[in-house]
Chain A
Amino acid sequence: MQVEVRKQMSHMWRVGLLSGLVLAAAAAPAHAFIAYVSNEKSNTVSVIDTDTWTVTKTIKVGQRPRGIDFTRDGKFVMVAVGDDDTIQMIDAKTQTVVDSLPSGPDPELFAQDAAGKTLYVANENDNTVTVIDLEKRTRLGDIQVGVEPEGMTISPDGKTLINTSETTNMAHFIDTASRQIVANVLVAARPRFAEFKHDASEVWVSSEIGGTVSIIDPKKHEVVGKVSFEIPGLRKEAIQPVGIGMTRDDKTAFVALGPANRVAVVDVATRKVTKYLLVGQRVWHMAFTPDEKYLLTTNGVSNDVSVIDVAAQKVIKTIQVGELPWGIAIAP
């Protein structure tokens, strides 16, 4: 009898504790988001809680995970595992790999349309972009592009796909309806990443070896400007622009500068750098929290993630993750 009572009490206590936890979670500050980081060398994905800024789980994935993003409904995380020639899907609830998507060989980066229905995958070793139906999880077809497709982005209206090729040094403009290349724009050497302004008036393309960001008018298919970087005391070769993040108001851009170990803060209107933030080593890609309070960067050589306070333009935290962190995605 006594045992029974004790059991019941312990049960009540646990339930009480649980509901207390639920309340605590509800009252938690609004910035509690979940970030997923692909670790290229350790073949894992680190899960970061942006409330405590700690790694809460490390998920084993396929070989050489790089490009990573959430499905638009926030239910799955897609991660391109290049050496396994596929894209794996992680269930965001159970945080385990549950399915895969049919990409081409060596997928590196991908982009999805605004509705989250179609996924475009750059296959580094195959000179193609694979088009995937995200609802049916089937392959719709391939688009032939330049040698070694790299950067991928899609226009806000979903009509134009931009793909950069590190060998042709071009940004290829692809019409998503006809799946044909409609224009090729020459940029500086080894273009890595492309990002549209939210108002679709410009595409920014970073060039790792050229050391600049080319600004393209997507209607005229012309380079209309350039962002240059200069850091006192730093060799030019160390300035290798890769990831780009732009605030929703299109006023401020952040550019990851690789082994310069810095993120440049760029005033979008004047195309001038206003500040350089020292982060970790070989800073590669980045993602904003949905409230845009924080920007998280992956630092491939120091094996960590830097947290930037966007308003203060200051690095506030460093989080150790797996080996060679490459991409990052934050739950919508």
Chain B
Amino acid sequence: MIVRILAMVALALSGMSAVARAADPRYPNWPCAQAKVPEISLAAVWAGPPLDDAETRWKDDTKITALVSKLSARKTPMDEAERSVKEFLAGSAAGKAANAKLLFAGLFETLNAQRSQVMNGLERVSRKQREAADKIREDSIQLQTLQGAAPRDDARVEALSNELIWKTRIFEDRNKVVRFVCEVPTAIDQRLFALGRVIQQELE
């Protein structure tokens, strides 16, 4: 039984080190395989006209803010989002170029903020996971000591074994969630780029 628990612990912790191995020295708490880019630069996603004061003014236009929050929501399917952009700009007539800039400025700021939030969360969880891994390691050493002690305190061995099983299970579940959430910043990049591309095409 104890041997099995210790093997399970070793396996769970080895999963952790697989993530840590390829770590970026600049961001030791970054848990994802994709190298961290802390924020999206405008130049990476926009080759259209300079946004100028649209970067601040977009918040004053209620039509723009409503559309930005709809398009930024991951629950809005991409094809529907793209259609909304086209419809909005087609209905803008003379104000098309100005509206295009306001819309992209809003999307850029909103999606970048969304992305930062997710990334901060990932780093926070990864820090906690490291602490949890240390604790699991300590507990397993203690368990080994208890097991070898004479006379053996069976009640304590069992209590600690159970605790270790739980901690390891939680640790593993969190690791799975982290791997899944690592895809989210990329999905946001993808959305911003795709919407930017549609807006630029409409301007051409």
Contact = CB atoms under 8 A, between A and B. Distances in A.
Interface of A: 147-148, 166-167, 189-190, 208-209, 231-235, 237-238, 240, 258-261, 278, 280-282, 301-303
Contact of A235 (B22, B41, B45, B197): B41
Contacts of A209: 24-26, 35
Contact of A147 (B21, B35, B41): B21
Contacts of B24: 189-190, 209
B190 A301 contact: yes
- Dominant SS among interface residues on chain A: loop
B49 to A, nearest CB: 14
5 contacts: A167-B22, A231-B43, A237-B37, A301-B186, A301-B193
A240 B35 contact: yes
Nearest to B186: A301
Contacts, number: 63
Interface residues of B, number: 23
A189 B25 contact: yes
Nearest to B25: A189
A233 B43 CA distance: 6
Nearest to A299: B193
A234 B43 contact: yes
Contacts of A282: 186, 189
Contacts of A231: 43
Interface string B7-48: 000000000000001101110000000011111111111010
Contacts of A234: 41, 43-44
Contacts of A258: 35
A190 B22 contact: yes
A166 B24 CA distance: 11
Contacts of B43: 231-234
B178 interface: no
B186 A235 contact: no
Nearest to A232: B43
Contacts of A301: 186, 189-190, 193
Contacts of B25: 189, 209
B194 interface: yes
A316 to B, nearest CB: 15
B190 A238 contact: no
B194 A208 contact: no
Contacts of A147: 21
A237 B38 contact: yes
A208 B42 contact: no
A232 B197 CA distance: 20
Given A189-B24, A261-B193, A303-B190, 8 more contacts: A166-B22, A209-B25, A231-B43, A233-B43, A234-B41, A238-B41, A259-B35, A302-B194
A113 B45 CA distance: 39
Nearest to B40: A238
Contact of B37 (A235, A278, A280): A235
A149 to B, nearest CB: 13
